[in-house]
Structure formats: structure tokens, C-alpha cells
A and B are shown apart, each in its own frame.
Chain A
């Protein structure tokens, strides 16, 4: 069994209203040193596989095919656990 973690973030050219609202609220609460915030997503995938290379390839494929919209998002991933 191998577990991977996939991080998805908006491309910098894409306006992110959610992060902007969160930042404004933090500043409203008095945390004025917060200059910027990025809201990202991450997924944990558990594979019934023992070969890390196969898992890397499957994770990449799933990221490109389903988890990410390539017009607006980037992603990276890492293996976090194997047993």
C-alpha cells in the first residue's frame, strides 16, 4: 500500500476571491501583518500498489485527468507513506 498527497493551487494569474475574503477578515481581526494568503487544496490517495514508480505515474495521470483544471490550476505531489 502506498499513500500519496496531491497539492492543488490556483495559477498566480487567476484571481482568487476566496483567499482575498479570508485575508480581509484576518486583517479585520487585527492581524495586520498578514500580507497575503493562498487557499489551496490537497488530496490523499491510497493505492493498492507496492511499486513507487507505478504510484507516481498513476498520481500524475489522475492529477492531469481529473483533480486539476489545467486552465487555472497547478499541482504537485509526493509519496507520504508506504507499507
Chain B
């Protein structure tokens, strides 16, 4: 059977792009890096926009990356229903490109947060979460200063109605309180999908929790979900 092909977009300042390759290959996929100045993707099944600090976070996080050459091809891929994940800075880029609703603002604490955190899987019927249990709580690293997910009331109602909220910050039992909100995000939101469900943005790093040598391995189910979803449709 033909391998699933990941395209990993790299900007100057991207990080964990190689970790994503490592993890995707552990799950039997083939990976191609795509430089942000390129105009074409390399026949992907999945596009990943990794974390980091593209363009040094100048102007606003993700704002300048949104005008890189490769973005037109990514928008076309999205329109055709292709699967896209934006992790951390990748999430910020997807909101700046209007591929996902809302905005990532500075953390309420104004601090860069680098720690493990629990998140609850709110919707396990997406291409990115179908291998998780319903309401499963996972331990996953976060590392950001601009992770405060903001959206206006109307947008928030749309997210709720369409079941677009995928991950929320919680305690280890899945309780969702302000005390377990690391950055101030509305409704403790850690990850969402677009209305069509083919684009995921998340602040936590699943690729940093997907190898047996690491303290947590629950992030691997994002990659396993993608595998399952694509294989069932190929």
C-alpha cells in the first residue's frame, strides 16, 4: 500500500519540524520538507505547519508567514479538503490566514510557558482525534507566549454548535476550571478545527509526546488518527 505523505512546511525559525518527521515516519509515513518560499506542495496527504517563531514573531505571531509564497498552495489544498495541522506557531499562522477562526493573543500571565499540561479530547470524531477515546485526558507539552485563544461571542457560539472545539485544558481527571487554564484561553480552548473539519490548530505539541523515550506518548494518537482516517478513505 502506498505510504501516507506528509508535507512539513519550514520557515526560518520553525521548530520541531524534524520531530514531526521522526514521529510521522515512526507511523509508517513518508515526509517531505517544503520551504516556505516554494510555490508548490509535494503531493501531500497531510500538511503540517510546525511550531516556532516564523519571521521572529514580528508584527504579530504568524502575520508575516501568512504572506509567504507557499500559503497560496496551502489555501488551495485546504479548499480541496486536504488535511492540515498547525501546531503552536502553525496554529497562529492558520488564524492569520483566516483558515481557522479566532486569534492567539499574549498569555494572560505575559509569561512564556513551557510545561506539561493535561488536555481533554472534546471531539473524537475528527480525522485528527478518531483514535482517542471520547473525553480522554492526555498529558502533553505546551511551549508558548502567545497561546491565549480569543474569539468573539458569535464565533464562540459557532464553534460550540459545530463541535469545532477539539481540545481543552483540564486537570488530570478532565475537569475544566480557570485554575487549569495556562494562558487565559476562552473556555480553556487548546485546539479547534474549521467548520469543514479538515484543518486542526492546536497550541500543545503532539510531536513532543509521541516517542517511547519521552515521559508522555499520548500525542502519537494524533498521527495514528490521521493514518486511520486516510487509510479508510484511500
Contact = CB atoms under 8 A, between A and B. Distances in A.
A34 B148 CA distance: 26
A15 B103 contact: no
Interface in A52-73: 66-67, 69, 71-72
Given A71-B103, A72-B103, A15 B184 contact: yes
A67 B59 contact: yes
A17 B103 contact: no
Q: SS class of chain B's interface: helix, strand, loop or mixed?
A: loop
B117 interface: no
A8 to B, nearest CB: 10
Interface residues of A, number: 11
Main secondary structure of the interface of A (DSSP, over half): loop
B150 A17 contact: no
B108 A17 contact: yes
B106 interface: yes
Interface of A: 13-15, 17-18, 21, 66-67, 69, 71-72
Given A17-B109, A18-B106, 15 more contacts: A13-B152, A15-B105, A15-B148, A17-B105, A17-B110, A17-B148, A21-B110, A66-B59, A69-B63, A69-B96, A71-B95, A71-B102, A71-B151, A71-B152, A72-B103
Interface of B: 59-60, 63, 67, 95-96, 102-103, 105-110, 148, 150-152, 184
25 contacts: A14-B150, A15-B105, A15-B108, A15-B148, A15-B150, A17-B106, A17-B107, A17-B108, A17-B110, A17-B148, A17-B184, A18-B106, A21-B110, A66-B59, A66-B63, A66-B67, A67-B59, A69-B60, A69-B96, A71-B150, A71-B151, A71-B152, A72-B103, A72-B105, A72-B150
